[in-house]
Amino acid sequence: MDMSESPLVSVYMPTQNRLASMRAAVESVLGQTYRNVELVVVDDGSTDETPRWLAERALQDPRLKVLRHEKGRGACAARNEAIRASTGVFLTGLDDDDEFKPHHIEALLAYWHLLTSMGDQPSVLYVQYEFRSGDKRWYSAKVGRCTAEMMLQANHVGNQLFGPRDRFVSAGLFDEEMPAWQDLEFFYRILKLHGPGRLLDLPSYVFDVAPRPDRISSKSKQKVLRACQLMYAKHGQGQGRTMQLMLLQVFSEYYGFRPDAADMRQFMKQGWWAEGWYQMMRRWLRPPAQA
């Protein structure tokens, strides 16, 4: 692809005290087969060797831009700052413990141009994941097309989207007050404003799920319930079925939470829904998740 005709693609990445995995994440962006990339990393108050390594690497490759918070402000604040500082025509994100496969951006751009050349106008794209935990590998099975309404049932797109930068900005960026579901809530707004997203059915994003002491878990029942309540307040429009759909997300197998009597009452007071009540009852009767 001719660089003079190739759009700049920006990648935003927050990081904090994850030197080893962050280095691999950075190199996976700078080593893309598509070269016209800009990686904006916001160091959110790291106290390890992260600042030194990033400064040295930025001197070696001007495509890497580094910003720093002297004190941590949270991943969403770091993501938002990186997005504001980005200058690409297209935008996507990467977490500091994940990686892109070498063809990730090239494949996304090629698919975008294929769809738009055929008259399809997706708002954004998303990809399949390759999950890794030690030597184990397995793959996601995401839906081919995702609407905002589908996001109320589950986060079908994952933790990253690819699309024109202005669509991220016009949707308002990440809500820094959300205790969980930050990706879900922001991506819901993008799809609501700009229309359905499309899947590139290729596992070009490597998602590290190996347990580590530096991995911050979002699987706190109270945090997720609070995020559910905030999501409903912002987007539920007073519809009881919407709250029920989101409560089923809270008590999905992904989290492993078991609803208590108060959770069951909250679900049931939203209205009669035979299938939903059945699914919630199954969650109530299942054994507690093992620690």
pLDDT of amino acid 2: 40
Strand pairing category for 136-139 and 125-133: antiparallel
Q: Say if CB 64 and CB 57 are below 8 A apart.
A: yes
215, part of any domain: no
Phi/psi for 128 (5° steps) reads -75, 160
230, part of any domain: yes
pLDDT of amino acid 214: 60
Looking at the fold, whether 156 and 269 belong to one and the same domain comes out as: no
Looking at the fold, whether 249 and 183 belong to one and the same domain comes out as: no
106, part of any domain: yes
pLDDT of amino acid 218: 55
Looking at the fold, whether 231 and 171 belong to one and the same domain comes out as: no
Of the candidates 208, 230, 246, which is a domain's last residue?
Answer: 208
Looking at the fold, whether 196 and 256 belong to one and the same domain comes out as: no
Looking at the fold, whether 203 and 258 belong to one and the same domain comes out as: no
Looking at the fold, whether 143 and 253 belong to one and the same domain comes out as: no
Phi/psi for 172 (5° steps) reads 100, 5
195, part of any domain: yes
141, part of any domain: yes
Looking at the fold, whether 127 and 18 belong to one and the same domain comes out as: yes
274, part of any domain: yes
Residue 37's contacts (CB-CB under 8 Å, 6 or more residues apart) are 8, 9, 10, 11, 29, 30, 63, 88, 105
Work out how many domains the chain is built from and give that number. Answer: 2
64, part of any domain: yes
216, part of any domain: no
Q: Say if CB 129 and CB 203 are below 8 A apart.
A: yes
Of the candidates 177, 208, 239, which is a domain's last residue?
Answer: 208
Structural domain that includes position 86? 3-208
Of the candidates 183, 208, 233, which is a domain's last residue?
Answer: 208
Q: Say if CB 200 and CB 127 are below 8 A apart.
A: yes
Looking at the fold, whether 60 and 86 belong to one and the same domain comes out as: yes
pLDDT of amino acid 211: 77
Low-confidence ranges of the chain (pLDDT < 50): 1-4, 290-291
pLDDT of amino acid 210: 83
Looking at the fold, whether 94 and 117 belong to one and the same domain comes out as: yes
Looking at the fold, whether 133 and 254 belong to one and the same domain comes out as: no
As given in the structure block, the two tokens for residue 227 are 């995020």
Looking at the fold, whether 201 and 103 belong to one and the same domain comes out as: yes
Count of CB atoms within 10 A of residue 212's CB? 12
